Amino acid sequence: MASASAFFTAALAVHGDPAEVITDRAPALANAIDGLIPAALHNTGQYEKPGSNATTAA
C-alpha cells in the first residue's frame, strides 16, 4: 500500500484532486484512493466481465 500511496501523492501534487479515478480492482489502489481522495469516484467498471455481478465475489 505504501507504493500506491506514494504514487497517488505524487500525482495529486502535480495534477490536483480528481473527480474520478479509473483503476483496476487492486485492493492497494482502492485503499490509497479512499485514504487520499475520498471524494473521488473510484471507477473500476471497465474491468468488469460482461454479464458479471459486481456484488458477487469471485
* pLDDT for 6: 92
Residue 11 has pLDDT above 80, yes or no: yes
* pLDDT for 27: 85
Q: Are 22 and 46 in contact (CB under 8 A)?
A: yes
- Cell 479509473 belongs to 22
Mean pLDDT calculated for residue range 16-32 = 87
Query: 49: which DSSP letter?
Result: P
Strand partners, 41: 20
Give 52's contacts (C-beta < 8 A, 6+ positions apart): none
Domain ranges of the chain: 2-47
Q: Are 19 and 50 in contact (CB under 8 A)?
A: no
Residue 19 has pLDDT above 60, yes or no: yes
